[in-house]
């Protein structure tokens, strides 16, 4: 059996913990306080049927635990913790700071966030607090200490779940306390006002500051604010939220040094306010919440991208899917119900990409409150339902996957650099086109590789690159210091790098690098673009291979790079569009336009061949394939997203059904097969 002590390790490797379940974790946010205690017994029975191992408890329970200032009542939570333990279920116990009580909001309205128009957030939502509020911090840490002290030795306690999606509803704050913290943050970062003026280029529009106290947060204005300021405002916001997490974590560590601590991330929200690649170093277990968007026909691909990104931030270590939906959510325009089988494919896709557990929001669908139309593992219609039977099937599958717990996804041959900072810089600027989507090229290339059965590590810049034969740099608008040098070294050593348009354009202060685009990578690529020539929506420009460019084109001048494709019409007719330089044992390719489907497919095929990248296994198109390897063996995860039976050139026993498969093994339509390759 897997060594359970070694698989929840913080990224410094200095702390290790027992994993939160004996196998893959399975469960949900559990809000028993919404139900009469008579329902709890039924919950325990349904949890047993489903094979639930862990629930996240007390997330929004602050007021029930502390009904008035300094008065603590533990009755129901004590009973629930005991009940969970009796039923062999672990608690991911939440610090309930996502939901400050009404009495606190009333006594201290100044703890809440203020929006860019100066409105204070009213009571009635959640996460309304300002991370810069000293008063809120005081009350929150008092609660955390009381909770940790109460349950420090409780046998049900497995994991601390700090607050909930910190930054989700409190991601911007223009309160006076935030302003003071912002000015102090700037002083620390730049050493004084002169440094800020220099970094942001405040000579523009006469914005030069005479004193740090003049630098107010970017309140609503008739024009967009300075791009350097906005980028730093995003950094400051992320740092403030992280500081709150660390403050709670330190109390928990002091009281319960042996219990792992996490906070649930929201990796992939494009307007995210948290630099999770940095936060990842502060948690003991990386956990993520993921919801698919019903209108996205490629939602399973987006899920895969997000899961690969979560693993990349966890530096390849097992992570935890803290929330996803058993069926529909309730916050989209139309909340699409999942197809039969889709929930299992979704959950196991995360597991296939390194998660050691799949939990849902939430256990039982609420009848009251704003989330009354959000699915739960147990629907309004109860346990005798199609949906709950699928939940039971998933629980059984996860139980059968216990040997894979603690294993890691096999080293990918392709790495892809994705940074929040780059997305923020794009958002902070007025670019040549508003049609540029920061993650679009990354997702498209990730999908193309996935279609070919090729595994991709999606990593933040700065991650080690030595293991990759191919490194994709998609729309890395802001190149962090040192990234260009690191890529150059990887190429010298034999890697094949693909840089796409709108990369390497600005430095860490969001200033354009002079001399032509992509400034940071020009030397590596042996070319420069003199001009960016964006296209209108629907407008295309033909290339000499018969494919077309959209959204973005450039006037490119080559140095020592070869020209692989040229523009074939318009102002750029005859000019280079796709170039490749040779450096040492590797190459660096530059794509100056957004390619159409055929253009991208051809480019990915070429690159794969050039670098000799091999698939995880020879699968039919439509199967997503990954391999996890660990001390219990090697496990091939095969997820058929189509409505036809497909095959893979592999054999082994399917851990889920126990069936022996000989090559070529059939993966039935819409199903998941996990081959234990030892057998």
Parallel, antiparallel, or unpaired: how do β-strands 355-360 and 319-323 relate?
parallel
Minimum Å gap between C-beta 48 and ligand GAL is: 25
- Select 98 or 231, whichever has its Cβ closest to ligand GAL: 98
Residues 249-288 that bind ligand GAL (CB under 6 A): none
Tokens 């082994």 -> residue:
652
**Residue 129 CB neighbour total at 10 angstroms:** 29
**Parallel, antiparallel or unpaired: strands 633-640 and 623-630:** antiparallel
Out of 30, 139, 291, 590, name the contact with ligand GAL by CB under 6 A: 291
**Which CB sits closer to ligand GAL, 167 or 442?**
167
Beta bridge partners of 473: 499
Catalytic-residue membership of 110: no
Tell me which of 54, 92, 168, 503 binds ligand GAL, using CB under 6 A. 168
Side-chain-side CA neighbours of 410 within 13 Å: the count stands at: 17
Q: Angle formed by the axes of helices 227-255 and 176-190, to 10°?
A: 100
**612 Cβ contact partners less than 8 Å away, ≥ 6 residues apart:** 469
| Beta carbon of residue 325, minimum distance to ligand GAL (angstroms, whole number) | 6
Which residue number, 223 or 367, has a Cβ lying nearer to ligand GAL? Answer: 367
Catalytic pick among 66, 165, 315, 420:
165
Tell me: does residue 245 bind ligand GAL (CB under 6 A).
Answer: no
- Would you call 165 a catalytic residue per the annotation? yes
- Binding-site size, ligand GAL (CB under 6 A): 10
**Cβ at position 423, least distance to ligand GAL in Å:** 19
Our CB check for ligand GAL shows the closer of 329 and 603 to be 329
Which residue of 284, 304, 308, 323 would you call a contact of ligand GAL, by CB under 6 A?
323
- From the list 136, 305, 319, 361, which residue makes contact with ligand GAL (rule: CB under 6 A)? 361
Long-range contacts of 650-658 (CB under 8 A, 24+ apart): 650/617, 650/618, 650/675, 650/677, 651/675, 651/677, 652/676, 652/677, 652/678, 652/679, 653/679, 655/400, 655/401, 655/403, 655/404, 656/396, 656/397, 656/400, 656/401, 658/400
Interatomic CA distance for residues 267 and 442, integer angstroms: 14
CB of 248 to ligand GAL, least distance (A): 16
Judged by CB, which is closer to ligand GAL: 183, or 387?
Answer: 387
Q: Which is nearer to ligand GAL, 237 or 579 (CB)?
A: 237
Q: Distance between CA 245 and CA 575 in Å, rounded?
A: 51
> Which residues inside 147-166 make contact with ligand GAL, applying CB under 6 A?
164-165
Catalytic pick among 275, 323, 420, 448: 323
CA distance 218 to 229: 8
Q: Least distance to ligand GAL from the beta carbon of 115, Å?
A: 20
**Which of 63, 532 has the CB closer to ligand GAL?**
63
Separation between Cα atoms, residue 421 and residue 460, nearest integer Å: 10
Of 137, 345, 374, 446, the one binding ligand GAL (CB under 6 A) is: 374
SS3 486: helix
Sign of CA dihedral 507, 510, 513, 517: positive
Q: How far is the CB of 319 from ligand GAL (least distance, A)?
A: 17
Phi and psi of 621, rounded to 5°?
-60, 135
Q: To the nearest whole angstrom, how small is the minimum distance from the Cβ of residue 167 to ligand GAL?
A: 11
State the residues that interact with ligand GAL by CB under 6 A: 164-165, 168, 289, 291, 323, 329, 361, 371, 374
Which residues form the catalytic set? 165, 323
């Amino acid at each position: 059996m897997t060594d359970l002590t070694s698989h929840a390790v913080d990224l410094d490797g200095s702390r290790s913990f027992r994993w939160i379940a004996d196998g893959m974790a399975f469960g949900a946010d559990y809000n028993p306080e919404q139900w009469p205690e008579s329902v709890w017994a039924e919950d325990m029975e349904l949890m047993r049927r489903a094979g639930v191992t862990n629930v996240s408890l007390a997330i929004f329970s602050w007021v029930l635990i502390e009904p008035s200032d300094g008065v603590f009542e533990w009755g129901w939570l004590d009973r629930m913790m005991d009940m969970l333990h009796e039923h062999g279920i672990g608690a991911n116990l939440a610090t309930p700071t996502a939901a400050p009580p009404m009495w606190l909001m009333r006594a201290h309205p100044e703890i809440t966030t203020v929006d860019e128009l100066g409105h204070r957030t009213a009571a009635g939502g959640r996460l309304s607090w300002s991370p810069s509020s000293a008063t809120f911090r005081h009350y929150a840490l008092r609660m955390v200490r009381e909770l940790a002290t109460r349950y420090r030795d409780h046998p049900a306690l497995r994991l601390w779940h700090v607050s909930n999606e910190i930054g989700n509803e409190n991601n911007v704050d223009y309160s006076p306390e935030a302003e003071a913290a912002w000015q102090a943050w700037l002083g620390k970062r730049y050493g004084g006002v002169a440094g800020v003026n220099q970094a942001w280029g405040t000579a523009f529009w006469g914005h030069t500051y005479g004193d740090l106290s003049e630098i107010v947060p970017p309140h609503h204005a008739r024009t967009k604010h300075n791009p350097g300021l906005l980028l730093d405002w995003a950094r400051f916001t992320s740092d403030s939220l992280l500081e709150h997490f660390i403050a709670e974590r330190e109390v928990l560590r002091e009281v319960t040094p042996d219990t792992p601590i996490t906070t649930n991330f929201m990796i992939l929200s494009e307007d995210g306010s948290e630099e999770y690649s940095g936060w990842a170093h502060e948690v003991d277990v990386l956990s993520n919440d993921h919801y698919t968007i019903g209108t996205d026909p490629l939602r399973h691909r987006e899920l895969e991208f997000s899961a690969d990104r979560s693993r990349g931030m966890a530096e390849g270590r097992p992570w935890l899917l803290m929330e996803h939906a058993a069926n529909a959510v309730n916050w989209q325009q139309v909340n699409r119900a999942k197809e039969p089988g889709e929930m299992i494919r979704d959950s196991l896709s995360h597991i296939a990409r390194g998660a050691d557990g799949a939990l849902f929001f939430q256990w039982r669908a609420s009848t009251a409150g704003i989330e009354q139309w959000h699915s739960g593992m147990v629907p309004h219609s109860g346990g005798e339902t199609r949906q709950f039977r699928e939940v039971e099937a998933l629980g059984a599958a996860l139980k059968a996957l216990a040997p894979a717990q603690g294993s890691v996804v096999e080293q990918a041959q392709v790495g892809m650099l994705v940074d929040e900072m780059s997305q923020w810089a794009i958002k902070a600027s007025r670019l040549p086109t508003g049609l540029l989507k920061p993650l679009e090229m990354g997702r498209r290339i990730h999908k193309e590789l996935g279609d070919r059965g090729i595994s991709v590590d999606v990593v933040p810049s700065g991650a080690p690159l030595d293991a990759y034969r191919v490194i994709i740099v998609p729309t890395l608008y802001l190149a962090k210091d040192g990234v260009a040098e690191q890529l150059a070294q990887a190429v010298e050593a034999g890697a094949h790098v693909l840089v796409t348009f709108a990369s390497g354009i600005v430095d860490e202060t969001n200033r354009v690098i002079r001399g032509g685009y992509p400034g940071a990578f020009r030397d590596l690529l042996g070319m420069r673009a003199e001009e960016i020539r964006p296209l209108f929506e629907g407008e295309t420009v033909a290339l000499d291979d018969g494919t077309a460019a959209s959204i973005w084109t450039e006037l490119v001048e080559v140095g020592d790079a070869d020209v692989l494709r040229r523009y074939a019409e318009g102002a750029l007719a005859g000019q280079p569009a796709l170039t490749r330089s040779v450096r040492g044992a590797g190459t660096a390719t530059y794509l100056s336009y957004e390619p159409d489907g055929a253009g991208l497919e051809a480019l990915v095929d070429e690159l794969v061949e050039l670098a000799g990248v091999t698939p995880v296994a020879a699968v039919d198109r439509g199967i997503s394939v990954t391999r996890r390897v660990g001390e219990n063996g090697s496990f091939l995860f095969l997820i058929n997203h189509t409505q036809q039976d497909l095959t893979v050139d592999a054999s082994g026993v399917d851990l889920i059904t126990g069936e022996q498969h000989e090559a070529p093994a059939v993966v039935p339509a819409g199903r998941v097969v996990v081959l234990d390759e030892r057998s």
